[in-house]
Chain A
Amino acid sequence: MTDSVDHAPDRSGPHATFFDGSSSRRRLVDIAFSDRLRIADGDGPLASWDYADIRRADAPPGVLRLRCLSAPALARLEIVDAADIARCIELCPDLDAAEARRGTLRVVVLGLAASASMLGIVLFGLPLIADRITPLVPQEVDRRIGDAAERQVRTVFGDKTCNAREGAAALSALVGKVRGAADLAPGQDPIVVSSPIANAFALPGGKVVIVSGLIAKAENADEIAGVLGHEFGHLKHRDSMRNLVHAGGLSFLAGMMFGDVSGSGSLVFASRTLITASYSREVEQDADTFAIDTMHRLGRPPQALGNLLMRISKSQGGDDVSWLSSHPLTQDRLERMGSDDVASGGPPLLSSEQWAALKAICGPARKI
């Protein structure tokens, strides 16, 4: 306080301001640089600090604020006289030791190590973790998640399921054949929901949902069989659960790494999207392989799936809710299906009547 200075008697030694760390009282003190830094006021000594224990504390420019390791933690001595400041810097060997020990380099090296290990975990650890954990999760959990997802699907699509009797029977026959060839236990028939969107997905727990736009776009039963084979591949590999474990772990890791760095929400989202895309690409490849193998066993052409994908991609262009958004049509996918053009020696999967019934599963009047 400025007015307090008026009351200060003349002093011989250098002046400083002292806070003893146990009260907020501001004391104008004398300091003496002897064997230790001695702090005293008119009534006698207040403290003496060992030079080796003295550290710099944050202060505004022009002020040297000191603390002492062997004094109360919040005791502070503030020096403003330039000569005294220089003297202190000269006498205290470890004045900036705390700052040096923190070392930005150390933090950066630590940070780099942390990011490298994080990258390793994300690229190699997470897929492994997903592979290992998924078999440990009881099928019951898959079914429960599947039930929950089915409710959402029904809510989104307004409960417009298609089950014209003959169409359902044809679908059932087709599914039976694919299941047989894929060596899958008999299960529930796919749910067909009515919507112009061309899409199909496997729900955890064993259900497959076909959105009727896909049936409308298909030109023969082989194409639907290819889609079924692909989705059954996901079911067989429990890919929903694997994706869930993978995505959950990834969100957690990404959030952890970036924390509250401003704008990181979109960054987390972007990196997650990229990594999920590359992971799901592997998963999709495996499902394609499964579909191709299944078609081979049926003696039907595997490239039917590719043809269907091609047609959807041509007709829908930028439609981002189609099958293509989650199953991007890449050149290598097409090539894999196309090059595998083995003689289609097997019998047709559905008769032409059955095929017509399947096409009309959402009712003949419906024009898509």
Chain B
Amino acid sequence: MTSDTAPSDLDRSQWSGHTSETFVDPRGRPAPPEPATFSGDRGGFFGLISRGAALEFVTLGFYRFWLATDMRRHLWSHTAVGGDAAEYVGTGRELLIGFLFALAILAPVYLLYFLAGIEAERAKAFGSAPLFLFFYAFGQFAIFRARRYRLTRTVWRGVRFWMTGSGLSYAVRAVLWGIPMALTLGLVLPWREAALERYKMRNSYYGDLQGRFEGRGWDFFRQGWWLYPLAILSLAVVPLAPFVYGLFKATEWRWWLSGLRFGDVRMESALGRGELISLYWKAIGWMLLLALALGFYLWAVAAAVSSASGVPVNKLFAAGLSSGSMVFVALLAAGYLVFLLAASVVMRVYLLRDLWERVIGSVEVHNLVAADNVTGLGAAASALGEGLADGLDVAGF
């Protein structure tokens, strides 16, 4: 805890019940850990994203900035620690502007990339392949800056989280970690994640509480090494993959959350290894159902168009772009779009909301009293990073 900088007339510690120096309650026992809770209503979230998906459909994706904002507002405001719910204060308009700025930057970058690619190809056939590294680095930069945007839009108890550090420096670290990753076929993943997370967290703050990451690569490795051969096996035995992935993600989440620190505040996650597997299976089941529905729809459309136009089904594509086949293609495209949007709803319900609920529900926060009188610091960062992440297709949610 830093020095008490609050004005004296605000210093009403009788309400907090703790004195800021000792982190114990008045009865002299250490304060018990506070569970993190998620109280979001599933139906409400489903309504929000279904409506959002429909609007995305109507606006050809333009609505996504507002949908992303609404999803975050829902998740944040129903997530509480120590009885106080968080708040997401970003807006869709910010995301749109960030995206437009990102476009202005990406357009010449893409052009330069293209020209450099031609020169490399002239020197050697497929010599431009290493240039993808550039976009990988750029994507890492965007990931770092997007996290900064989201963190600075996160407010809890009237104080915002914020972030310093350099996206460039982060991108260099991420690319350099790529070398041992390639040499060991991914076995150093735990150490890579730990190192990158240490960089992100030591540049993260809640008010004047500095963050840090105490998860160790070795611990992650010890908890999850046996998934490595299983992952290889699941390349051959595909139905194994959701199990392996679910086990891996649960292990990763628990390790990551348990390593997070802000000042003396410590997080601990008790997420069970198998707790996420069912979510992946539910998502897969729904996707299969949707795919089946899409297949049936396509078959029905093909049959209807062929009986209306008299062209046999197998000649519909070969007939070139005649008016009949244009209708056919338009119907196919519409069906596919609806499928994609339904799929996005499924993914967001299971792999975003439900996953969030399970992960948050596993968290206990120790020594939360250290966050009882934190001085607000930090300013809101621009949404450019988020825009870049969107343009480069590396964004999370």
Among B15, B25, B319, B372, the one with the most A-chain Cβ atoms within 10 Å of its Cβ is B15
Q: Check B158–A19 contact: CB distance below 8 A.
A: yes
Q: Check B59–A108 contact: CB distance below 8 A.
A: yes
Q: Check A148–B73 contact: CB distance below 8 A.
A: no
Q: Check B156–A24 contact: CB distance below 8 A.
A: yes
Q: Check B60–A43 contact: CB distance below 8 A.
A: no
Contacts of A88 in B (CB 8 A): none
Q: Check B374–A255 contact: CB distance below 8 A.
A: no
Q: Check A112–B16 contact: CB distance below 8 A.
A: no
Which of A193-201, A214-222, A228-236, A258-266 lies on the face that meets chain B? Answer: A258-266
In the assembly, what is the distance between CA of A43 and CA of B391, in Å? Answer: 53
In the assembly, what is the distance between CA of A41 and CA of B15, in Å? Answer: 10
Supposing A147-B122, A155-B125, A262-B347 touch, asked if A112 and B333 sit within 8 A by C-beta, the answer is no
Find residues 105-153 in chain B having any chain A CB closer than 8 Å to their own CB: 107, 110, 114, 118-119, 121-122, 124-126
Contacts of A24 in B (CB 8 A): 156-159, 206-207, 371-374, 376
**Which single member of A8, A59, A107, A262 contacts B59 (CB below 8 Å)?**
A107
B298 within 8 Å of A by Cβ? no
In the assembly, what is the distance between CA of A330 and CA of B80, in Å? Answer: 63
Q: Check B321–A114 contact: CB distance below 8 A.
A: no
Among A21, A46, A141, the one with the most B-chain Cβ atoms within 10 Å of its Cβ is A21
A347 within 8 Å of B by Cβ? no
Supposing A19-B157, A24-B157 touch, asked if A259 and B59 sit within 8 A by C-beta, the answer is no
Q: Check B122–A151 contact: CB distance below 8 A.
A: yes
B323 within 8 Å of A by Cβ? no
Supposing A7-B14, A74-B158, A274-B333 touch, asked if A148 and B58 sit within 8 A by C-beta, the answer is no
Which of A25-33, A178-186, A296-304 lies on the face that meets chain B? Answer: A25-33
In the assembly, what is the distance between CA of A75 and CA of B158, in Å? Answer: 5
B219 within 8 Å of A by Cβ? no
Smallest Cβ-Cβ distance to B79: which chain A residue:
A60
- Chain B binding surface, main DSSP class: mixed
Contacts of B159 in A (CB 8 A): 19, 21, 23-24, 74
Contacts of A154 in B (CB 8 A): 125
Q: Check B373–A23 contact: CB distance below 8 A.
A: yes
Contacts of B85 in A (CB 8 A): 59-60, 63, 65
B77 within 8 Å of A by Cβ? yes
B203 within 8 Å of A by Cβ? no
B272 within 8 Å of A by Cβ? no
**Which single member of A108, A259, A267 contacts B390 (CB below 8 Å)?**
A259
Supposing A24-B159, A281-B321 touch, asked if A74 and B62 sit within 8 A by C-beta, the answer is no
A104 within 8 Å of B by Cβ? yes
In the assembly, what is the distance between CA of A157 and CA of B124, in Å? Answer: 15
Which of B181-189, B192-200, B227-235, B337-345 lies on the face that meets chain A? Answer: B337-345
**Which single member of B9, B15, B55, B76 contacts A4 (CB below 8 Å)?**
B15
In the assembly, what is the distance between CA of A25 and CA of B10, in Å? Answer: 9
Contact with B along A334-362 (1 / 0, CB 8 A): 00000000000000000000000000000
B41 within 8 Å of A by Cβ? yes
A44 within 8 Å of B by Cβ? yes
Supposing A43-B12, A58-B73 touch, asked if A260 and B60 sit within 8 A by C-beta, the answer is no
Find residues 59-100 in chain B having any chain A CB closer than 8 Å to their own CB: 59-64, 66, 73, 76-78, 80, 82-85, 87-89, 91-93, 99
Seen from chain B, the residues whose Cβ lies within 8 Å of a Cβ on chain A are: 5-6, 9-10, 12, 14-17, 25-26, 39, 41, 55-56, 58-64, 66, 73, 76-78, 80, 82-85, 87-89, 91-93, 99, 103, 107, 110, 114, 118-119, 121-122, 124-126, 155-160, 206-207, 318-322, 329, 333, 336-337, 340, 343-344, 347, 371-376, 389-391, 393-395
List 4 additional contacts besides A19-B157, A58-B87, A65-B85; criterion CB under 8 Å.
Answer: A24-B158, A259-B395, A260-B389, A330-B321
